[in-house]
Structure 1
Amino acid sequence: MQIGMFYQVQVPRPWTQTSDYDRHWEMMDQVVLAEELGFSTVWLADHQFRTEWSHSSAPDVTLAAISQRTSQMRLGIAVAVPPVQHPLHIAARTATLDILSNGRVDLGIGRSGYPYQMAAFGVDLENATGMVEEALEIIPKAWTEGEFFYQGEFFNIPLREVHPKPVQAPHPPMWLGCSREETFRKAGEQGLGCLAMSGGGPERLTQLINAYREGIRDAAPVGKSVTDRVSISTLAICAENRKKAQERGAEVLDWYRRQQDLRDVKVWQEQDRNNVPVDYQWHYQRSTATDSPKRNETSSLDQIKEGRYCIGDPDDCLRFLEQYSSTGVDEIMPLFQIGPMEDSEVKETLRLFGKHVIPHLDKTEQADNVTAE
């Protein structure tokens, strides 16, 4: 199992004139350090209008800058949203990034679970799933074919050739943003990698990954290759002193949970509650349920002590990650730059992962490979 990293570029209030600038350049320094320490991939979210929670609104631009400061780490978009970005733009911009990075790009695709983000672009929620399905057909064609045309319900493309073409052959690995068993299975059936959060714990994740593996066994790939991988995100804070890590983690997690609650209210505030598409019912019910366990569960500190997050000393973090390794996940991409976390705190976590966590996981994988042989 590899260790990557995931960025929302969270910028908590109070702000200064340089808050966005500072967080972006802190991220750049952190990623350069992470490559030196052996991290596998940096994934960037693609969000709009997500104040404080995510100021990562142009991940391909940011990753292009990162590509010039790194040479080994893979660079992932998690995820591009075809209902608000034309698939031809996604294809061309991702191919350009693949060239600039010498073939290190992974492209995640998703429809977004947040109507608040899509309403400003005039997107009808009823059409979002269909637009994603068509984009998954268009993008590989744009990468691998000369002149092609496409006629669908949402996208109609006359005979055109898209440039540039990506470096990777046949094309960059493609992934799907997944949140429930149905989408895990669908990603597998379409030959796509799976990007998801770690919510629900290892037992639930094992069920979801099993659904993915069942789907991918007889995959009918939407592209020219199969990406048989699952990458899961969680929160991670590590310090030499367990008490220090847990107490700081509780402060940060309190912020994170407040932001989740604010997000859940905001993303549906403009939506007619009597007209939520079937494909979005799961997201709507999860976000608006007043009896949600998220709103009534134990304190942040108790959750951390129960081992629900990758927060603690290096041994705590290793135990957490080994639990998830047993589920069959291929990569954990923790969110390190979380809300009020200072740059120095993020870098301390990265260094401890590089010293204690990544080498241990590498040795475990090598031992497993020897046993398998």
Structure 2
Amino acid sequence: MEVGINFFPDVDHRVKPAERYFAECLDLVELADGLGYHHVRIVEHYFHQYGGYSPNPIVFLAAAAARSRNLKLITGAVLPAFNHPLKLAGEIGMLDAVSGGRLEVGFARAFLPHEFQRFGVDMDTSRARFDEGVDAVRRLLTEEDVAVAGRFHSFPATTSLPRPTQRPHPPLWVAALSSEHSFRSAGELGCGIMAIPLAADAMRRNLEVYREAWQAAGHPGRGRVMLAFHMHCAPDRELARARAEEPVNAYLRSLAAAASDWTSGVSSADYPGYRQMIEKLAADDFHSVLARSAALVGTPDDIVDQVREFHDRCGGFEVASLQVNFSTLDPVLARESVVLFGEKALPRLRADVPGAVRGVGMTDSASVARDYQRSLQRSRDSRGRRDRPAEFRLADRDWALFDEVFPPVYSASTEVFLNLLDLPRGGSMLEIGCGAGVIAVSAALAGCAQVVATDVNPHAVRNTESNAARHGVAGRVRCQESDMFAALPPRETFDLVFWHSNFVLAPETLTRLTLHDLAYVDPGYRAHRAFLREALDRVRPGGSALLGFSSRGDVELLRRLAGDAGVALGPVAAREVRERDHAVEYRLLRLSRGAGTAGGGAG
């Protein structure tokens, strides 16, 4: 399970000015980033104490990006009803670039009548505006020369700039309160679902609707679910409850006031049942939300138990988003809570195996789940390390290391595979996933006449170009941005095709990854499937296709995928090294045409 923090400003401007509120929030962002939290999230609301300090979540998230290195930045959520899709798409692309591909975008319909009234927007058009707006933004992020002739927005062929850093676009979410239609629509669109923990039984039914729609639409896996909770953690249960009770009650009073139009005669066909729902929320207090686990309050042990219990009762969720400085809570106490939870509860919840992992079909899903989480943490740590070098020495040569590129200095794998490979002298070589370019440039230095170095990460392509020029072989190393073989000329073949794979298996539904993360993990082994399917078609007669794998990968699944592709895997060489606190064996495997794996060679 991933756990992050979210900000829902419930602030009286006469009591706390915006400057102080956001300074407190950004201090918490920096703290959460260092403790290993997953994300920071913030809302879009207007004109009222309830949320009004955040009319544009992208502005705050840009500041949060500057104060963090690893946190995902999540809009929770932007409102298409009040925004032009051209403006939204451009801002999304810009924040994705500024943050180095850490953005995730949540969309919501809006539900407060006073906001619609002030913007002059008919609430009965809410659903249509949402559907049209999300579709337009998604197309603008994915395609170029997009023209829209809609009911609410029209524009000629337009290419939104900047283009998103994450391709085809940042991960998308849809916020839903209680409408079954909203849950179904999110599943059909292939978006994650953002929700609040209402009654567990009702949440289970809505999540079943969401997952059934997801699978019926042909999307892989079972979707992603994020639930938002109030959270306060303290060393003593009663102390935690005493601290949290009045701030939670103040937040609930503010919500009831902001939504009071629903109970005063306002109605809309696009919001069936909202009067009754708001009446129920208005009757809530600290004790009722605590009883249904909408507030997580207590010691670290208490909160872990509360999360796990609600997870089981509601049918499971992948992400918890925690309000940590809600309403009138003392910012010093909020900070203490974030630290205590981060140190004592967060590691335990992150080690829990989400249902999406259990469905991958692995022999030891729990250990693989722990392994991919550990690998993602290594990715985040390596990007944020203060001692991350701009240059490094490997194989008796000096190399440049660009930001956002896999650092060979933190793993023995690059040097091991360089030593295990028999580089073709006078021939040609394709390296998939070139990273900093150590192997590709070394091949050219060893006498390889033509080297093509590809990577899905444009920073890695530029890094390899720099190192090829540095060592005087730029004329023999062609660097190209490509996802596997996609950007290569159709009939181009090589004497050696080599891929040092991202061998750690992650859940197929895991989409919130940076290009840097993809150097560490492969969701659902999608990249491995493509390599097994296509590599041999790129090999000249008498040549070789080699896969650099590891004991940290899922060997059994690799064997099955090779058999499905009609490929045999045979051992070439292996070497065991110690990394951190455990032994890792790196294996060089040869692909050949066959019905399956050869004699357990991948093992």
3-state DSSP of counterpart to 1:4: strand
Map 1:290-369 onto structure 2 (within 5 A): 292=280, 294-295=282-283, 300-301=286-287, 304=290, 309-326=295-312, 327-365=315-353, 369=366
Q: Distance in 2 between matches of 1:193 and 1:39?
A: 19
Aligned to 2:227, the other structure's residue is in SS state strand
TM alignment of 1:5-154, pairs within 5 A: 5-12=5-12, 14-15=14-15, 19-154=17-152
Alpha-carbon offset, residue 318 of structure 1: 0.9
- Greater C-alpha radius of gyration: 2
Corresponding residue of 1:165: 163
Question: Could you give the per-residue CA deviations for residues 254-291 of structure 1, whole angstroms, max 9, x where no partner exists?
Answer: 2122222212315676xx64xx331112223322x4xx
- Identify if the C-alpha distance between structure 1 residues 153 and 227 changes in structure 2 by more than 3 Å, giving closer, same or farther: farther
Change (3 A) 1:25 1:217: same
| Paired position in structure 1 for 2:518 | none
Shift of 1:210: 1.4
Q: Does 1:195 align with 2:194?
A: yes
Aligned residues: 358
Cα distance in 1 between the residues matched to 2:20 and 2:68 = 20
Q: Could you tell me how far 1:306 is from its partner in structure 2?
A: 7.4
How far apart are the structure 1 equivalents of 2:27 and 2:93? 25
- Counterpart CA distance in 2 for 1:113 and 1:255 is 20
Name the structure 1 match of 2:274. 283
1:103–1:243 CA distance, 2 compared to 1 (3 A): same
Q: Which amino acid in structure 1 is aligned with residue 15 of structure 2?
A: W
1:194-250 deviation digits (Å, cap 9, x = unpaired): 0111121x33322222111111002278xxx99921101011111001111111121
The gaps in structure 2 that reach 5 residues or longer are: 355-363, 370-553, 555-603
2:233 matches 1:238: yes
- Structure with the larger strand share: 2
Pairing partner for 2:254 from 259, 262, 267: 259
Letter matched to residue 362 of structure 1: R
Residue 328 of structure 1: SS of its match in structure 2? coil
> Could you tell me which amino acid in structure 2 is paired with residue 311 of structure 1?
V
What's the TM-score once normalised by structure 1's chain length? 0.89
Show structure 1 runs of 5+ residues with no match. none
Q: Which residue of the partner structure matches residue 488 of structure 2?
A: none
Shift of 1:20: 1.2
Larger relative helix fraction: 1
TM-score by length of 2: 0.56
Alignment RMSD: 2.5
Distance in 1, Cα, partners of 2:57 & 2:367: 39
* Letter of the structure 2 residue corresponding to residue 2 of structure 1: E
Mapped partners of 2:232, 2:137: distance in 1: 37
Between the aligned partners of 1:72 and 1:306, the Cα distance in structure 2 is 32
Bigger Cα displacement from structure 2, 321-330 vs 260-269: 260-269
Structure 1 residue 217 and structure 2 residue 215: aligned? yes
- CA 1:309–1:42: 2 relative to 1, 3 Å: same
What is the letter of the counterpart of residue 352 of structure 2?
A: T
CA contact (8 A) 1:246 1:304 kept: no
In 2 relative to 1, CA 364–338 (structure 1 residues): closer, same or farther, beyond 3 Å? Answer: same
Distance 2:271 2:346 in 1: 38
- Shift of the alpha carbon at 1:67? 0.7
Q: Secondary structure at the match of 2:174?
A: strand
Supply the AA of the counterpart residue of 1:137. D
Q: 1:256 to 1:119 in 2, by over 3 A?
A: same
**8 Å contact kept, 2:13–2:49:** no
What CA distance in whole angstroms lies between the structure 2 residues aligned with 1:164 and 1:111? 25
Is the 1:117–1:267 contact (alpha carbons within 8 Å) kept by the matching residues of 2?
no
Distance in 2 (CA, whole Å) between partners of 1:163 and 1:371 is 39
Change in Cα spacing, 1:248 to 1:193, as seen in structure 2 (3 Å) is same
Offset, 1:10: 2.4
Aligned to 1:4: 4
